[in-house]
């Protein structure tokens, strides 16, 4: 008798736990879909940082235009709601600069020198500051001395300055979330190229 | 000696305070991510079956926004054009897009930035053997006088065999500079090779959606 009662209780607990986690999943999907529908109803390009599945999607009208694979991701601070967050600022040490055309630079076809802003000119280490106190720090996989030096900078940021900012923002009651994303070099450059200030993105944690 | 000791004490206390703040900050930063969930309160009150039904409606509403039939996707970072139907890529072409360069006129009053526009567009016009009506910047760039007569602006054979306009003077057209395909060299238009251009012209009608990113 007692054994049956205990078994029944355990079965009830397991099923209610499973339903809870299922409900959490469905609720999360609901919020994501609602947010995406808001963005997809405008004729703009928007971004989905699917950190759970380690993907970044460039989308418009609900269709995937391009998909980038996240090599590694680390989260810090407040959890971000799956709502549209506009990009406020892109910050990097060496901003790509546009060339100014010299008038009457009549170069013939054979001596044509290309002076343009191209994908290779884009940085690979940069921070995306989004609305709601979110900062996404993008960096490539460590390769070479420059990358090694940048990674030291990243470690100082992660273990020295970031905890201080966390305390300050907590005292002020402001949200503070930091996301470290490691991408392939070309993908990091492509994200910088496409994700312009004012564009909106959804973060799925 | 005494001053040195006081100085060391201050440094020691400051280091202690910093370490304390660091430890608290690190704990908060790491702890919040592991334990918080940010789900909408409104969705929290709904039943699981209702939520599932709503999700399926949302999914179908999202699908209804997808383009019908053939559409064009242009990746300006890689200088690629994709002719697509649903999730299927029918044709991939190497193209040239905007150089991102800046041109100013001599007074400094007018400025042009040669970027390819981004977002969703539609094919608005289609031309066979198009002529190019040179805008003011084309003369300023060459340091020539802007003509008063319209006829002096028209140039033939520059835009290839076909052109598809998608608004504000931007076109998908052919090119004489085939070896520059794959590079960002244009004034904002999308230059395509002859064979690819013919395929795009044939497949895309007026109203075909274009996505540029």
- What's the first-to-final CA gap in chain A, in angstroms? 45
Helix (H) or strand (E) holding B134: none
Round to whole Å and give the CA distance between A188 and A28: 27
Predicted local confidence at residue A105, as pLDDT: 63
How many residue pairs from chains A and B have C-beta atoms closer than 8 A? 180
Q: Is A22 on the interface with B (CB under 8 A)?
A: yes
**pLDDT level of residue A16 (50, 70, 90 thresholds):** low
Q: Which residue has the higher pLDDT, B14 or A67?
A: A67
Is there a contact between B99 and A77 if contact means CB atoms under 8 Å apart?
Answer: no
Name the closest residue on chain A to residue B38, using Cα atoms.
Answer: A81
Could you tell me the mean pLDDT of each successive run of 10 residues in chain B, 213 residues long? 80 86 77 56 76 95 95 97 96 97 88 96 97 94 90 93 96 95 96 97 97 98
Buried b (16+ CB within 10 A) or exposed e, B81-104: bbbbeeeeeeeebbbbbbbbbbbe
Alpha helices in B65-124 (DSSP H): none
Predicted local confidence at residue A96, as pLDDT: 92
Structure tokens at A192: 């910088």
Residue spans of beta strands (DSSP E) within B13-153: 70-75, 80-85, 88-98, 102-104, 111-113, 119-122, 125-128, 131-133
Name the closest residue on chain B to residue A58, using Cα atoms.
Answer: B213
Q: Is B199 on the interface with A (CB under 8 A)?
A: no
Is there a contact between A28 and B32 if contact means CB atoms under 8 Å apart?
Answer: no
Of B37, B44, B180, the CB nearest to A79: B37
Q: Is B180 on the interface with A (CB under 8 A)?
A: yes
Q: Which residue has the higher pLDDT, B72 or A148?
A: B72
Q: Which residue has the higher pLDDT, A109 or A171?
A: A171
The CA distances from residue B95 to B91, B131, B163, B197, in Å, are: 12, 20, 14, 10
For residue A178, how many other CB atoms are within 10 A of its CB? Answer: 22
pLDDT at residue A110 above 90? Answer: no
How many residues are given for chain B?
A: 213
Among residues A205, A73, A84, A48, the alpha carbon closest in space to that of B32 is found at A205
Is there a contact between A37 and B58 if contact means CB atoms under 8 Å apart?
Answer: yes
Helix (H) or strand (E) holding A200: strand A200-204
Chain A hits for B211, Cβ within 8 Å: 45, 60-61, 63, 65
Round to whole Å and give the CA distance between A47 and B78: 18
Q: What residues 86-115 of chain A have any CB closer than 8 A to a CB of chain B?
A: 98-101, 103-104, 106, 109, 112, 114-115
Please state the domain extents for chain A: 14-102+110-204
Is there a contact between A65 and B102 if contact means CB atoms under 8 Å apart?
Answer: no
Structure tokens at B61: 């509403």
Q: Using CB atoms within 10 A of its CB, is residue A190 exposed (0-12), middle (13-18) or buried (19+)? A: buried
Across residues A126-152, what is the average pLDDT?
85
Alpha helices in A112-177 (DSSP H): 144-156, 162-172
Q: How far is CA A150 from the centre of its chain?
A: 19
> Per-residue pLDDT tens for A89-105?
999 988 998 888 877 66
Structure tokens at B167: 């608004």
The 8-class DSSP code of residue A196 comes to -
Round to whole Å and give the CA distance between A86 and A129: 9
């Amino acid at each position: 008798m007692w054994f049956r009662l205990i078994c029944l209780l355990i079965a009830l607990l397991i099923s209610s736990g499973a339903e809870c986690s299922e409900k959490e999943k469905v609720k999360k999907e609901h919020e994501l879909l609602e947010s995406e529908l808001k963005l997809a109803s405008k004729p703009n390009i928007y971004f989905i940082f699917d950190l759970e599945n380690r993907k970044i999607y460039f989308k418009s009208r609900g269709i995937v235009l391009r998909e980038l694979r996240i090599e590694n991701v680390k989260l810090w601070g407040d959890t971000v709601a799956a709502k549209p967050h506009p990009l406020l600022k892109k910050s990097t040490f060496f901003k790509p600069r546009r060339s100014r055309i010299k008038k009457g630079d009549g170069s013939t076809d054979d001596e044509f020198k290309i002076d343009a802003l191209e994908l290779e000119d884009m940085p690979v280490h940069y921070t995306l500051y989004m609305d709601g106190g979110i900062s996404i720090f993008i960096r490539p996989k460590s390769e070479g001395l420059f990358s090694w030096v940048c990674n030291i900078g990243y470690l100082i940021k992660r273990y020295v300055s970031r905890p201080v900012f966390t305390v300050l923002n907590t005292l002020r009651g402001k949200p503070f979330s930091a996301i470290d994303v490691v991408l392939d070099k070309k993908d990091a450059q492509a994200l910088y190229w496409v994700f312009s200030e004012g564009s909106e993105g959804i973060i799925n944690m | 000696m005494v001053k040195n000791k006081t100085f060391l004490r201050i440094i020691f206390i400051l280091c202690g305070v910093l370490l304390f703040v660091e430890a608290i900050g690190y704990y908060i930063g790491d702890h919040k991510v592991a334990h918080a969930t940010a789900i909408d309160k409104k969705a929290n009150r709904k039943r699981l079956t209702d939520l599932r039904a709503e999700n399926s409606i949302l999914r179908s509403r999202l699908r209804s926004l997808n383009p019908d039939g053939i559409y064009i996707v242009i990746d300006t970072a890689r200088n690629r054009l994709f002719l697509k139907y649903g999730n299927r890529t029918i044709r991939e072409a190497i193209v040239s897009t905007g150089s991102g360069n800046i041109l100013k006129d001599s007074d400094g009053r007018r400025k042009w930035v040669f970027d390819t526009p981004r977002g969703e567009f539609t094919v608005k016009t289609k031309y066979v053997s198009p002529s190019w009506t040179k805008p003011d910047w084309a003369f300023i760039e060459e340091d020539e006088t802007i003509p008063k007569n319209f006829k002096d602006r028209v140039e033939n054979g520059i835009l290839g065999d076909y052109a598809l306009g998608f608004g504000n003077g931007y076109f998908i057209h052919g090119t004489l500079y085939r070896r520059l395909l794959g590079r960002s060299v244009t004034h904002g238009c999308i230059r395509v090779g002859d064979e690819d251009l013919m395929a795009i012209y044939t497949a895309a009608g007026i109203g075909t959606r274009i996505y540029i990113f």
